[in-house]
Amino acid sequence: MPTTPTMPPATTPPRPPEKTRIVGLGASAGGLDALEIFLGATPPDSGMAYVVVQHMAPTHKTMLSTLLQRVTTMPVHEAMEAMVIEPDHVYVIAPDSELTVMEGRLHVGHSPEPRGMRLPIDVLFGSLAKDQGEHAIGVVLSGMGADGSHGLQAIKMRGGLALAQLPESAQFDSMPKNAIASGCVDIIASPVDMPARIIQVVKPRTARPAPSQAPQAAQQGHGNALETILAMLRDRSKHDLSLYKSSTLLRRIDRRVAVHSLDSMAAYADFLTHNPQELDILFAEMLIGVTSFFRDPGLWNELKDKVLPELIARRGND
């Protein structure tokens, strides 16, 4: 009798490798101690990469990579153009340069601004926000001035995670204080506590199934707490978010649960009843950041007062 040919077993196509999650670390005066404490407390197998930007004189021969290598078993490299960013590695800025991140590689440039006006931390954080979106992480450590504040705002606008050093623990507290005053910081902590706080936020989002894939019983268990949170948001903001995608709502709330080291959505709902200002932060996280342009009066004034008049003045006779 003829035999029916057997079909080869179905194979699952390999999953594409996940993009390495990058933590940007910005420091200035007094920042070396903070960087050493942070990296010394960072597990060598966190799965994340760490890019360090510290203010330094353009002619200064840096030993930063050597100094940081003493406190971590992760390889520490001075950044070079087009260097591939690998997990569990540390990358350090070279003197007289700016670092940006694009498609998993480091790019080294030179600022056109004179010394004293350069903002290399903002440059790095801005590129992280654009490249990594809600996976971007920025940390502002000890330093003078306000470098890093605008970059953290860019990260926050894309749904990323923003941290600032506890000012009392910083040798120079201007940079952390300015970052905190910008209103975009999720976590304020000492450098020794920051790595654990970052992992606490990141791991639940990578190790657990996405909300849309979670077992039905687990989603139903969130139901009462989610309804309570949405009702509080509606009372506070006058916006009804109940028609938003449930996966988006649960993902945003889950992150705030982790930021505050809570163990459940119900605990977060209770936290909100005693901390109404957290409702404003949660509501802001639910909004789509890229539309903020249309709500920025300064940009519209610039368009009206400068851009359009110059365009009109250059028009031809026809």
pLDDT 10s digits, 267-307: 999 999 999 889 988 888 887 555 555 667 888 889 999 99
pLDDT tens across the length of the chain (318 residues): 555 555 555 554 444 456 899 999 999 999 999 999 999 999 999 999 999 999 876 655 678 999 999 999 999 999 999 999 999 999 999 888 899 999 999 999 987 665 667 899 999 999 999 999 989 999 999 999 999 999 999 999 888 999 999 999 999 999 999 999 998 999 999 999 999 999 999 985 444 444 444 444 444 556 789 999 999 999 998 989 888 888 888 988 998 999 888 888 999 999 999 998 899 888 888 875 555 556 678 888 899 999 999 898 888 777
Residue 178: name the closest of 189, 191, 190, 164 by CA: 164
User: What per-residue confidence (pLDDT) applies to 222?
Assistant: 64
Whether 98 and 233 share a structural domain: no
Backbone angles phi, psi at 315, to 5 degrees: -70, 150
Last residue of a domain, one of 204, 220, 247: 204
Q: For residue 312, is it within any domain? A: no
Question: What does the alpha-carbon distance between residue 132 and residue 147 come to, in Å, rounded to a whole number?
Answer: 20
Q: What is the pTM of this model?
A: 0.76
Last residue of a domain, one of 180, 204, 228: 204
Whether 182 and 219 share a structural domain: no
Domain region containing 267: 208-291
Dihedral over alpha carbons 199, 91, 67, 28 (to 10 degrees): -80
Q: For residue 305, is it within any domain? A: no
Last residue of a domain, one of 177, 204, 231: 204
Whether 57 and 185 share a structural domain: yes
Q: Hey, what long-range contacts does 108-112 have (CB within 8 A, 24 or more apart)?
A: 108/79, 108/80, 108/81
Whether 35 and 182 share a structural domain: yes
Q: For residue 311, is it within any domain? A: no
Q: Is 147 a catalytic residue?
A: yes
Q: For residue 297, is it within any domain? A: no
Count of domains for the chain = 2
Whether 34 and 146 share a structural domain: yes
Whether 152 and 245 share a structural domain: no
Residue 227: name the closest of 208, 249, 209 by CA: 249
Q: For residue 73, is it within any domain? A: yes
Whether 41 and 120 share a structural domain: yes
Q: Which of 122, 131, 147, 186 is catalytic?
A: 147
User: What per-residue confidence (pLDDT) applies to 164?
Assistant: 97
Whether 39 and 65 share a structural domain: yes
Q: For residue 189, is it within any domain? A: yes
| Sign of CA pseudo-dihedral 295, 299, 305, 307 | negative
Q: Is 55 a catalytic residue?
A: yes
Q: Which helix (H) or strand (E) holds 162?
A: strand 161-165
User: What per-residue confidence (pLDDT) applies to 45?
Assistant: 96
Whether 30 and 128 share a structural domain: yes
User: What per-residue confidence (pLDDT) applies to 63?
Assistant: 87
Whether 91 and 193 share a structural domain: yes
Question: How many CA within 13 A on the CB side of residue 117?
Answer: 4
User: What per-residue confidence (pLDDT) applies to 295?
Assistant: 64
Whether 184 and 221 share a structural domain: no
Q: For residue 300, is it within any domain? A: no
Tokens representing 47 are 């799965």
Residue 142: name the closest of 112, 179, 163, 172 by CA: 172
Which CATH number characterizes residue 52's domain?
Answer: 3.40.50.180
Whether 51 and 131 share a structural domain: yes
Dihedral over alpha carbons 93, 95, 96, 97 (to 10 degrees): -20
Q: Which of 55, 135, 150, 222 is catalytic?
A: 55
Backbone angles phi, psi at 33, to 5 degrees: -60, -45
Rg of the chain on CA atoms, in Å: 23
Q: For residue 61, is it within any domain? A: yes
Question: What does the alpha-carbon distance between residue 93 and residue 295 come to, in Å, rounded to a whole number?
Answer: 35
User: What per-residue confidence (pLDDT) applies to 218?
Assistant: 46
